[in-house]
Amino acid sequence: MATDIKRYVTSCTICQLTKPSQRKPAGFMVPISPQKPWEYAGVDFIGPLPHTPSGNAYIIVFVDYFSKWVEVCALKEASALVAASKFVSEIFARHSNPTYLISIRAYVGDKHTSWDKFISQICFALRTAPHESTGLSTSMMLCGRELETPVDLLIQRRHTTYEVGDLVRVKSHPRSDALFSFTAKLAPLYTGPFRVSQKLGPVNYRLIRLDTGTDAGVFHVFNLSIPGSLLLHPETSSLPQSDLCLV
Q: Return the pLDDT at 208.
A: 94
Instruction: Give the Cα separation of 103 and 114 in Å (integer).
Output: 26
Number of other residues whose CB lies within 10 A of the CB of residue 25: 7
* Segments making up each domain of the chain, as ranges: 40-152, 167-244
Q: Return the pLDDT at 238.
A: 36
**What is the band of 16 on the pLDDT scale with cuts at 50, 70, 90?**
low
DSSP 3-state of 123: helix
Instruction: Give the Cα separation of 23 and 125 in Å (integer).
Output: 44
**What is the band of 221 on the pLDDT scale with cuts at 50, 70, 90?**
confident
Q: What is the pTM of this model?
A: 0.43
Q: Return the pLDDT at 214.
A: 92
Residue 8 has pLDDT above 70, yes or no: yes
Q: For 156-201, what is each residue's pLDDT tens digit?
A: 667 788 999 999 988 887 777 777 777 777 778 888 789 999 998 8
Fold designation for 40-152: Nucleotidyltransferase; domain 5 (3.30.420)
Query: Mean per-residue pLDDT for 217-243?
Result: 61
Query: Taking a C-beta distance cutoff of 8 angstroms, is the pair 75, 60 a contact?
Result: yes
Instruction: Give the Cα separation of 207 and 198 in Å (integer).
Output: 7
Q: Return the pLDDT at 104.
A: 58
Instruction: Give the residue from 89, 82, 87 showing the smallest Cα distance to 101.
Output: 87
CATH class of domain segment(s) 167-244: mainly beta
Residue 241 has pLDDT above 80, yes or no: no
DSSP 3-state of 201: coil
> Percent of the chain beyond pLDDT 90?
8
